[in-house]
Amino acid sequence: MAEKEHQEKKLRPLKMKKLPLKEIKPRGWLRAQLRLQAEGLTGHIEEIWEDLGPRNRWLGGDIEGWERGPYYADGLVPLAYLLEDEELMEKAEKWVEAFLGSQREDGWIGPVSGEGDYQDYDPWPNFVVLKALREYFRATEDERALETMEGFCRYLKENLDERPLFRWGKFRWADLALSIYWLYERREEEWLLQLAERVREQGYDWEKHFAEFPYKAPQPADEMKMETHVVNNAMGIKAPGMGYRLSEDEGDLKALYQGLTQLDKFHGQVTGLFTGDEHFGGRDPSRGTELCAVVEYLFSLEELLEVTADSELADRLERIAFNALPATFKPDMWAHQYDQQANQVICDVSEKIWSNAPDANIFGLEPNYGCCTANMHQGWPKFAASLWMKTGDEGEGEGLAAVSYSPCRIDTSLGGREVGLEVDTDYPFSEEIELSLHLEEPISFPLHLRIPRWSQKPEIVSPRGELFRPAAGDFYELEEKWRDGDRIRLALPAPLEAERRFRGAVALKRGPLVYALPLKEEWKLIGGEPPHGDWEVHPKEAWNYGLKLDPDRPSRFVSVNRGKLEEEKRPFSPGTAPISLKVKGGAIPDWILEDNRAGPIPSSPVVPSAVAEEKDLCLIPYGCTNLRVTEFPLIDLD
Ligand SMILES: [Zn+2]
């Protein structure tokens, strides 16, 4: 009977689908950012970091046969193919061939580097191999990727009952489930859904975790708990969506929204992220968030967008991608942090009250621990590869949905006909977007244009001059018989918002960008050989300012200054920020360094008698900063 029930399992179809990699060409600043990554650590890490060099066990060597090789390949593959960079493609293929070539007769892939009772068995790194093979297939349609994935799934089918998921694999089951679903959509073999069901049963119960969420306070530094681990949670947030695909109950998606709310409420940061320096750290802007959690949260949201088509998940995707992601890299992408802080006033090797090492917030090759050094590569490429998705059933009903308006060109087919779409914009540094269509013949298809929740009086002008005023916070469907050369203009006016934060502090946002006060900085090389290396970053000026503004009417107190986006000059660096805010601040002498970071933020409002001299402050996008203050005490205006 149980068997029969299993056989009736259905997989809930995706509402939107990512495009093949060759159909997406990043342009403008986004292409420049990906080139920076290619010319920085991602393109050179194999020469510098032994863990990913020829000694890696996945490549036949004698060290690191666990997650690092698969992590790297999972980001390198989409980067190489999006940029059509021959040299990177060759590097990516070397890793892929190593995965394909190392499959045993029984389906297991690669070396085994387990621990404890499972010295000879740890399937977790293979979850990442499957993800990387999926990216590779997305780029090449090489059938061997599917065969190897299927072989590994057969191995799990034969072995999971006897050797169930444990430790990382148990908590990260959703990242296995998504590959099994993906394979099922191409193979339609019933046993794959039964396997996915078993994986879900053996996995950690994230739905219960997010529904009950007992972790309302910062977690003790001395406890290694998988449940409160920042990266596990950033990956686990997709689990309700993955469970929902196997369920017929619409209510199963509820835990996703409970999870987003709980993480924001108890550990949230203004960048859309939550803290964890290694474990939940509360809302204090001096606490850290690990880079692996940044890229994994992005990936979770990209996967969840396919499942839900919820435009607000894309709002969050952009908030993390345009702020937290660039900020945690050295602007030339040759070094990264393990932990970033919203109020990050010094990056040095010093004891802090968190469970990470003293070097966790410096910019380096391998600060704290090397997971981020291997895993960070997927952030930008997977974001770029998710800009537009296909909607509707294959054939007549197909359309396109805008997930993010970053500049790009899409060349795909809808209902069997070729469609080119160019996105011309400096977004997120501008609010104007122009879409142009390239068609061989006039055709009808729906364009689902995301209208961010933050936009105020958004407007769409159709090619024939018709004006639409869509509601914010949803996709707006525009359908007509499109002709070659048609242009659609979008205006997404971004009001200035003052968000109340920890202890009444205030953070300024405008559209998808968060603004922060950059500090004059001194970079001190403490290891390595430039261009790669380990750097401490020290402030060369005071940082302890509060803001003088009325948070209900911030635009009366803040002026917006727009410069020109010079994309060839690294949009995300302090010196080239293309937009800034001017606001009046006041120094608060009692707010000082404590525990080697910005001490407890004074409760707002701060009385004027506690404020020393006033000063005009210039805030720039968070993603452009290295040292910064983002959450400010509010100075009482009276
Ligand atoms: Zn990491």
Indicate the SS3 state at residue 53: coil
Which two tokens mark 471? Answer: 């509601």
Contact 547, 637 (CB under 8 A): no
For residue 396, count other CB atoms closer than 10 A to its CB.
11
Note the pLDDT of residue 286.
98
**Dist. CA 442 → ligand 1 center (Å):** 48
**Dist. CA 518 → ligand 1 center (Å):** 25
Note the pLDDT of residue 150.
98
**Dist. CA 360 → ligand 1 center (Å):** 10
Average pLDDT over residues 537-544: 98
**Dist. CA 231 → ligand 1 center (Å):** 8
Average pLDDT of every residue of the chain: 95
Peptide bond into 589 cis (omega under 30): no
**Dist. CA 289 → ligand 1 center (Å):** 10
Q: Is the pLDDT of residue 223 over 90?
A: no
**Dist. CA 296 → ligand 1 center (Å):** 10
Which two tokens mark 92? Answer: 């990516």
**Dist. CA 391 → ligand 1 center (Å):** 33
**Dist. CA 368 → ligand 1 center (Å):** 9
pLDDT in tens, 84-105: 999 999 999 999 999 999 999 9
300-326: buried (b, 16+ CB within 10 Å) or exposed (e) per residue? bbbbbbbbbbbbebbbbbbbbbbbbbb
**Dist. CA 224 → ligand 1 center (Å):** 15
Strand partners, 290: 339
CA distance 544 to 525: 26
**Dist. CA 75 → ligand 1 center (Å):** 14
CA distance 191 to 439: 42
**Dist. CA 242 → ligand 1 center (Å):** 23
Note the pLDDT of residue 6.
47
| pTM given for the model | 0.97
What's the start-to-end Cα distance of the chain, in Å? 73
Nearest to 432 by CA among 234, 588, 624, 565: 565
pLDDT in tens, 442-451: 999 999 999 9
Which CATH architecture does the domain made up of 2-384 adopt? Alpha/alpha barrel (1.50)
Q: Is the pLDDT of residue 68 over 50?
A: yes
What percentage of the chain exceeds 70 in pLDDT?
98
**Dist. CA 613 → ligand 1 center (Å):** 41
CA distance 493 to 510: 9
CA distance 596 to 619: 23
**Dist. CA 152 → ligand 1 center (Å):** 26
**Dist. CA 106 → ligand 1 center (Å):** 31
Average pLDDT over residues 246-254: 88
Lowest mean pLDDT among 41-45, 116-120, 526-530: 116-120
**Dist. CA 574 → ligand 1 center (Å):** 25
Q: Is 398 exposed, middle or buried (CB count within 10 Å of its CB: 0-12, 13-18, 19+)?
A: buried
**Dist. CA 156 → ligand 1 center (Å):** 27
Note the pLDDT of residue 119.
72
Note the pLDDT of residue 248.
82
Packing angle, helices 311-319 and 291-308, rounded to 10 = 160
CA distance 167 to 171: 7
For residue 66, count other CB atoms closer than 10 A to its CB.
25
Contact 258, 271 (CB under 8 A): no
**Dist. CA 291 → ligand 1 center (Å):** 6
**Dist. CA 197 → ligand 1 center (Å):** 29
**Dist. CA 471 → ligand 1 center (Å):** 38
**Dist. CA 295 → ligand 1 center (Å):** 9
Indicate the SS3 state at residue 75: helix
Which DSSP helix (H) or strand (E) runs through 402? strand 399-402
**Dist. CA 5 → ligand 1 center (Å):** 40
Note the pLDDT of residue 217.
96
Q: Is the pLDDT of residue 1 over 90?
A: no
Average pLDDT over residues 265-286: 97
**Dist. CA 208 → ligand 1 center (Å):** 25
In Å, how far are 202, 239, 366 from 534, measured between CA atoms?
41, 36, 8
**Dist. CA 290 → ligand 1 center (Å):** 6
**Dist. CA 425 → ligand 1 center (Å):** 33
Q: Is the pLDDT of residue 5 over 70?
A: no
Note the pLDDT of residue 252.
85
**Dist. CA 429 → ligand 1 center (Å):** 29
Note the pLDDT of residue 18.
98
Place of tokens 């977690």: 219
**Dist. CA 142 → ligand 1 center (Å):** 30
Which DSSP helix (H) or strand (E) runs through 193? helix 190-202
**Dist. CA 90 → ligand 1 center (Å):** 26
pLDDT in tens, 155-169: 999 999 999 999 999
Lowest mean pLDDT among 130-144, 353-367, 388-402: 388-402
**Dist. CA 560 → ligand 1 center (Å):** 36
**Dist. CA 367 → ligand 1 center (Å):** 10
* All structural domains of the chain with their residue ranges: 2-384
Q: Is the pLDDT of residue 396 over 90?
A: no
**Dist. CA 373 → ligand 1 center (Å):** 7
**Dist. CA 375 → ligand 1 center (Å):** 7
Note the pLDDT of residue 335.
98
Residues 6+ apart with CB under 8 A from 382: 75, 78, 295, 298, 299, 302
Average pLDDT over residues 532-552: 97
Q: What are the start-end ranges of the H helices in 40-173? A: 41-48, 68-83, 86-101, 124-140, 143-159, 167-171
**Dist. CA 63 → ligand 1 center (Å):** 19
Note the pLDDT of residue 3.
47
**Dist. CA 338 → ligand 1 center (Å):** 6
Q: Is the pLDDT of residue 7 over 60?
A: no
Band the pLDDT of 250: cuts 50, 70, 90: confident
Average pLDDT over residues 371-383: 98
**Dist. CA 393 → ligand 1 center (Å):** 38
CA distance 339 to 291: 6
Band the pLDDT of 600: cuts 50, 70, 90: very high
Q: How many residues does the chain have?
A: 638
pLDDT in tens, 566-578: 877 788 999 999 9
For residue 120, count other CB atoms closer than 10 A to its CB.
10
**Dist. CA 230 → ligand 1 center (Å):** 9
Average pLDDT over residues 180-207: 97
Note the pLDDT of residue 458.
98
Backbone angles phi, psi at 316, to 5 degrees: -70, -40
Note the pLDDT of residue 87.
98
Place of tokens 């013949």: 441
Which two tokens mark 357? Answer: 């090492």
CA distance 619 to 621: 7
Place of tokens 């070396």: 111
Nearest-5° angle of CA 392, CA 395, CA 400?
40
CA distance 567 to 574: 14
Note the pLDDT of residue 115.
62
Contact 416, 462 (CB under 8 A): no
Nearest to 242 by CA among 308, 186, 187, 290: 308
**Dist. CA 372 → ligand 1 center (Å):** 3
Nearest to 312 by CA among 245, 257, 244: 257
Nearest to 633 by CA among 321, 617, 246, 268: 617
**Dist. CA 112 → ligand 1 center (Å):** 21
Contact 203, 226 (CB under 8 A): no
Band the pLDDT of 75: cuts 50, 70, 90: very high
**Dist. CA 174 → ligand 1 center (Å):** 18
Note the pLDDT of residue 212.
97
Average pLDDT over residues 362-379: 98
Q: Is 635 exposed, middle or buried (CB count within 10 Å of its CB: 0-12, 13-18, 19+)?
A: buried
Q: Is the pLDDT of residue 199 over 70?
A: yes
Average pLDDT over residues 555-583: 92
**Dist. CA 531 → ligand 1 center (Å):** 22
Note the pLDDT of residue 2.
45
